[in-house]
Amino acid sequence: MDDSLPAVDPDVAATAADIAEMEIRGAATIADAAAEALAKQAERSEAASPKEFRRQLRAAAKTLYETRPTAVSLPNALRYVLRGMSGETVSELRASTIARAEEFQVDLAQAQSKLGEIGSNRLRDGDVVMTHCHSTDALSCLEAAVEDGKEIEAIVKETRPRKQGHITARQLRELGVPVTLVVDNAARRYLDRADHVLVGADSIAADGSVINKVGTSGLAVNARERGVPVMVAAQTIKLHPDTMTGHTVEIEMRAEREVVSDEERADIAGEQSDDGLTVENPAFDVTPPRYVDAIVTERGQFPPESIVILMRELFGETTGEPWAP
């Protein structure tokens, strides 16, 4: 029996490439793009049988899944769409898949708005908030606070090597929020001015650990020392259900060229052998729950240690991989 998966629609392949290269970034944006890609695969499928249609959808999901191992919103989106695929004919399977993808996208858009309203309740008029990286969930809290008439200021870490903090700074300025953009290593100095640290998450484990852009953990430790509360804004698609059964979260290692160019590498090595120089570029780190004050979701705010209760409610005790052959 041939268990190999068929080729995928070109738009699916293009979406996968954009996710891998971080042209599509941010957990919610990745999830939305993945659902859209599966809908396109379903719409354009020329499968002659229900079995072949399912194989094509699994192939598309697997192609998308393998792009970013740490961003759990991606497999959660794929699970949601594939588990809603039902029907006895290709036509029925196509319709159910497209409908399920559209339903997911609508829920996703509403979730961020609800999350923002809940998160904004933790912010007071005149607060100064420090951010790290770029998170649409975190930004939704600040946007809701501004819409409520609160005066908010932001200290934005630039977040090297890709400087996602520049995106955050630009979008906050578009909201009229005063921004101080600082280099990453200056965070501890500027925490004395901050009332909150507000970050997003790419994944949240069952024990309440937060997996987010590398540098988050150090920021949270420094914030606890300074007495600055740390709020994590994360939609429930960021919850990592596999961690309930003992799986660990894989930390993505990015290409060294994001840190040093070939010319810079040669300059560092000098006359010595290049074999002795190793460049590592982890995309994420893990913040233990003891350094997090609250995880804010569209379903409410939770102490990190209790997030497993919400996880069980949403996903049950175990999960599988519906894209597997």
Residues at the binding site for substrate are 25-28, 68, 212-213, 238
- Locate all alpha helices (DSSP H) within the chain, ordered by sequence: 10-20, 27-44, 50-65, 73-83, 90-120, 136-147, 165-174, 187-190, 216-226, 262-269, 307-315
Q: Which of 9, 32, 127, 133 is catalytic?
A: 133
Binding-site residue ranges: 25-28, 68, 212-213, 238
Percentages helix, strand, coil for the chain (3-state, rounded to 5) are 50, 15, 35
| Complete edge-to-edge strand list for the sheet that includes strand 203-204 | 203-204, 210-213, 284-287
CB–CB of 180/155 below 8 Å?
yes
Q: Residue 167: name the closest of 194, 139, 193 by CA.
A: 139
Q: For residues 284 and 287, give the distance between their C-alpha atoms in angstroms, rounded to a whole number.
A: 10
Task: Report residue 74 as tokens.
Answer: 């991606």
* Sign of the CA dihedral running 97, 99, 103, 109: positive
Among 9, 127, 202, 242, the one annotated catalytic: 202
Active site residue 133: yes
Judged by DSSP in three states, 286 sits in: strand
274 is catalytic: no
Catalytic residues: 133, 202
